[in-house]
Structure 1
């Protein structure tokens, strides 16, 4: 950590001033108030300033209060070595601090989730034994976790803390999941690092506001090592099948190890899958694709040494991956053609690809609690409220001539203005790149310089989709054949292929694919399915909440799973299986709630979109409503099979 000078004459006023100028004032105010209790900080006036065309708000302090805040913070840093840390705030005091930060009244469940996000405890979403680790009950007990990405790592940490024996199998050769697999040019997160991190790790210093793949993978590897998960990982192991044996009350797993001819058999009391949503690449299913003689690459298949320089390149799609990869390819290719069937709503982010200055690191190291409140501000801030308000239809607004709701329509206007601004010198492109569906009907995309790349002399835009592939290239909807050396298919993922490629066979001899049938994947709370005892699916069907960051949800869902495992062990039970009527009622409620969300009509064939009246990826509940549902496992939702004979 950066040390503050212990003598006033060593106080670097210029450095402190520069650091405070880079601070986020409202989180700084609350952090300093927690550290000092100075009532002047509580009296500062928070202004709600409209941003994104009025679709969202930011909380800001007026100039006078900001000046006073910097003065108080500078004085605190001058005497930092004299500071005595106060006792941890009570829950009531923490609630007051959160309210001070948010400048609004939070729903009780949103408040509870916000307090967990602060992570004042060492491991805020921990699960504990009721009376110490039951060594005898754990003799012969084993859990298999599938996947060493964010979900698998988090589940491993819960099991490690509880002392539950487990094995984590991973088909790749490193930790990181999607961040290990994807290596295409310019890959990075499109969520600020303040949110895209575990809440129980507070000393990692990110180099960029939106970190790149290498840094994210290194972070996940560090966490797996620090918390004891890494030694449990078996790399190069792909799960082929898993079958529940009712007689033994255990799962039998068949695992294929790289370089080993015969499959290996593992036995587990519980199986937890963390395979993720973006697991199966979706390649173009177009006439003639098998005839194409050039190089056809999905971004997940990008290999080291893939050469683009001087080649004729096509990029299909302008979702998150297509927008990320295209600008860099355009710099290196002789020519690049972007094929866009359905344009995405693309938003600017001023901090994208920007380094985090040393001044910010200085504040994180030397202002107590600043990191915590900065993270919490991300959670209770504008994006959470925007996703809450802009996703729902407002009948009164529509009756007055609006399209969706005031927030959504304002967002549409702001995003349309951004397209018009970026393409002002090519106005003929604008009408092709302003989507007809509502913002948030599909996943919002962060601009990586995609519009700027379209203005390059070596880049062409083709709209309306693709008619067919040929041996040498592609015939677009305009009927013109264009020849390509390389086609990059940024066409997304088969998001309904949960748990692929493994075949799971349940208690009645039916596979998950058979149970789901034509209606698509379903689960209770996104995690459990009747007929499949002791199987938990992290980030499963309808398991993508509307707001909040992925790491937090991995912590929350892993807590729910760990609670179930602890109950299983402490009761000496054989299995937990969600009751069919609970499963059915939940999914009926989910389908009804979907009708209130714009995904039911907007977004076309994006993965948020609803097929056959329902979706299988995202959930319609408010994020804090889902949090309340899974904060504590309810055994009343499950059939608990007690042991009747030794197993």
Structure 2
């Protein structure tokens, strides 16, 4: 994939000249009207459009006696936006207003998303919308010395992000990647139907918007291609050591550096030193395959979705798949046409929502608008993000009085459940047996919500059977379920997810010989802000405990926040003459007390009968971040010195 801005980040918006009138007309017809209206404000300089269309939207809702639906403009308002664009736009598209001041930006955002936008969101949306780079907070009076190096472990979404931002800040770095390909999850998951379940136009870096997505939800291969394009643009490949598995890291107190032990592609084990270490390995790493009696006797083919075998031909095969999560529904929808029969075995159903744009192509006119109409892309990204991020923050929160008498946890939670139940009713009007099997008995968000890529249609096929059970044992010719049913199989597919490991696969030793595995024993990892750990100077954990935005948004958002915080922390060390930093135990404990107290009011901890990876073996919610995305973003603007211990003389 060739990125649109080869010489600068995508928030640098150039004028567009020699516009083809037919392409512009097609783009106006296809463009999302809220984002198109905001682009008109930039291009014409007419800020009166904001108040005019705010009044139009309010009037339409009053007359219809309805509230806004996910920011979708009423047909009359959308038509007027397009008519205005046809009159005002021509052969040259030159913005008269670049990024507006905070007050105008907020008012524009409110009209774009057709919703109230709090002032605290303005700097967050400026950055995440791709209007401007993340604003540094720590002063920049010193440049990193040549001998200060940073080791980044992992070349997935976060590792590449860290490489880009460390390089931009002047830090020397090296990325160690165990595999022979970058991309993390998206180089590992090559199963049929693999796709991102977050919209393309904001599941990307805010500094590298991609107007050329072919689908509103990208396939795995297309997303991997996007990451490769970022690596090429920022010349990251020379700084990535592929086939380099980090075995462990040890803090050398006298030298105040980390020593990494790395097994390289040639089999040799070598040591490397770095002043700071950034772990960008994610938490869902090794494929999880349950230990089932008789698995070694199976005469057919068994494979995990994360270890897909391209040489296996499923045509005409009897296939049994275990799981009904995000991965399983994608596989089932994709392979159903090929197989002779497909038995779907689910230990527990998920709440599944309809999403019309899953699998939907981005029209040519829309892609032209994203690429050529200045600021249209930024506003479209902002609107997509707004309705998929903190608007969902209330949904997992428990109203104790409501939850005492309902499956759902609150009125907000119930509203989502009603959407899911309505979808079940419509999908299985003539199949009450399937509806019963696919209806969970726990509140939405207690497990990950699944967007349907065609799974409901697939399970209604005559060749597909759905079994509410698990595997009891495996025979040479098939599977016996926990209900005693035998399912003949030529192929068994494990759609059972990953081992959830917070760095448990790395031997990390900090100050005074303390091992991270001991600190985080019994599936109870703790970190300050989900990033730093007492006793481990200059160790920065990304995607750490209680850092996942499970109420909405995407992994890309928190990864950018973590990387920003890391760069700010390293710059703080330089500015103040310190060699290293680690959080105090008191600050870490206090932060985690607040995390636990907040999570204690959510379905992530009290989710009825839901089982999954959101809770550890003792029932603690150890994945989810309890804060709104805007609040967590605000916490991570810069390190708070009072919460840290510093090492080194501190002389300026």
TM-score after normalising by structure 2: 0.91
Distance 1:217 1:63, change over 3 A: closer
Q: Alignment partner of 1:155: what SS?
A: helix
Q: Alignment partner of 2:92: what SS?
A: helix
Distance 1:520 1:410, change over 3 A: same
Q: Are the equivalent residues in 2 in contact too, given 1:463–1:477 (CA < 8 A)? A: no
Q: Alignment partner of 1:356: what SS?
A: coil
- Answering whether residue 130 of structure 2 is matched by residue 119 of structure 1, we say yes
Matching residue of 2:416: 411
Matching residue of 2:38: 30
In the aligned structure 1, how far is the partner of 2:577 from the partner of 2:329? Answer: 52
Matching residue of 2:11: none
Between stretches 59-68 and 567-576, larger displacement belongs to 59-68
Q: 1:423 aligns with which of 428, 444, 468?
A: 428
Matching residue of 1:149: 156
Matching residue of 1:470: 475
Between stretches 396-405 and 327-336, larger displacement belongs to 396-405
- Answering whether residue 77 of structure 2 is matched by residue 72 of structure 1, we say no
Q: Alignment partner of 1:153: what SS?
A: helix
In the aligned structure 2, how far is the partner of 1:219 from the partner of 1:33? Answer: 30
In the aligned structure 1, how far is the partner of 2:476 from the partner of 2:21? Answer: 69
Q: Alignment partner of 1:633: what SS?
A: coil
In the aligned structure 1, how far is the partner of 2:173 from the partner of 2:30? Answer: 45
Q: 1:364 aligns with which of 370, 376, 388?
A: 370
Count of aligned residue pairs for this structure pair? 630
Alignment map for 1:3-402 (pairs within 5 Å): 11-12=21-22, 16-38=24-46, 39-44=48-53, 45-46=56-57, 57-78=69-90, 80-81=91-92, 83=94, 85-121=96-132, 123-124=133-134, 130-134=140-144, 138-202=145-209, 204-260=211-267, 262-381=268-387, 383-395=388-400, 397-398=402-403
Q: Are the equivalent residues in 1 in contact too, given 2:578–2:646 (CA < 8 A)? A: yes
In the aligned structure 2, how far is the partner of 1:244 from the partner of 1:55? Answer: 57
Matching residue of 2:531: 527
Q: Alignment partner of 1:223: what SS?
A: helix
In the aligned structure 1, how far is the partner of 2:563 from the partner of 2:534? Answer: 19
Distance 1:457 1:547, change over 3 A: closer
In the aligned structure 2, how far is the partner of 1:234 from the partner of 1:361? Answer: 35
Matching residue of 1:439: 444
Q: Are the equivalent residues in 2 in contact too, given 1:46–1:59 (CA < 8 A)? A: no
Distance 1:130 1:586, change over 3 A: same
Give the C-alpha shift of residue 131 in structure 1. Answer: 1.8
Give the C-alpha shift of residue 6 in structure 1. Answer: 5.1
Q: Which runs of 5+ in 2 are unaligned?
A: 5-13
Distance 1:483 1:248, change over 3 A: same
Matching residue of 2:9: none
In the aligned structure 1, how far is the partner of 2:362 from the partner of 2:208? Answer: 18
In the aligned structure 2, how far is the partner of 1:62 from the partner of 1:204? Answer: 25
Q: Are the equivalent residues in 2 in contact too, given 1:185–1:328 (CA < 8 A)? A: yes
Between stretches 305-314 and 183-192, larger displacement belongs to 305-314
In the aligned structure 2, how far is the partner of 1:635 from the partner of 1:551? Answer: 27
Q: Which runs of 5+ in 1 are unaligned?
A: none
In the aligned structure 2, how far is the partner of 1:88 from the partner of 1:605? Answer: 46
Give the C-alpha shift of residue 302 in structure 1. Answer: 0.7
In the aligned structure 2, how far is the partner of 1:56 from the partner of 1:435? Answer: 29
Distance 1:402 1:257, change over 3 A: closer
Q: Alignment partner of 2:414: what SS?
A: helix
Give the C-alpha shift of residue 610 in structure 1. Answer: 5.7
Matching residue of 1:597: 602
Give the C-alpha shift of residue 525 in structure 1. Answer: 1.0
Give the C-alpha shift of residue 505 in structure 1. Answer: 1.2
In the aligned structure 2, how far is the partner of 1:579 from the partner of 1:86? Answer: 46
Between stretches 586-595 and 416-425, larger displacement belongs to 416-425
Give the C-alpha shift of residue 124 in structure 1. Answer: 3.0
Matching residue of 2:10: none
Give the C-alpha shift of residue 451 in structure 1. Answer: 1.5
Q: Are the equivalent residues in 2 in contact too, given 1:125–1:556 (CA < 8 A)? A: no
Provide, for residues 236-280 of structure 1, a one-character-per-residue CA deviation record: whole Å limited to 9, x for no partner: 0111111111121111111111232x3111111100010012212
Q: Are the equivalent residues in 2 in contact too, given 1:148–1:233 (CA < 8 A)? A: yes
Give the C-alpha shift of residue 156 in structure 1. Answer: 0.4
Kindly report the root-mean-square deviation, in angstroms, between the aligned alpha carbons of the 2 structures. Answer: 2.6
Distance 1:93 1:467, change over 3 A: same
Give the C-alpha shift of residue 108 in structure 1. Answer: 3.7
Provide, for residues 438-482 of structure 1, a one-character-per-residue CA deviation record: whole Å limited to 9, x for no partner: 111111111121111112222111112222223332111221222
Alignment map for 1:484-495 (pairs within 5 Å): 484-495=489-500
Q: Alignment partner of 1:209: what SS?
A: coil
Q: Are the equivalent residues in 2 in contact too, given 1:422–1:451 (CA < 8 A)? A: yes
Provide, for residues 611-633 of structure 1, a one-character-per-residue CA deviation record: whole Å limited to 9, x for no partner: 53422211111222211111222
Distance 1:179 1:398, change over 3 A: closer
Give the C-alpha shift of residue 325 in structure 1. Answer: 0.7
Provide, for residues 368-424 of structure 1, a one-character-per-residue CA deviation record: whole Å limited to 9, x for no partner: 21100011112222x335421211122454578684211211221221121222223
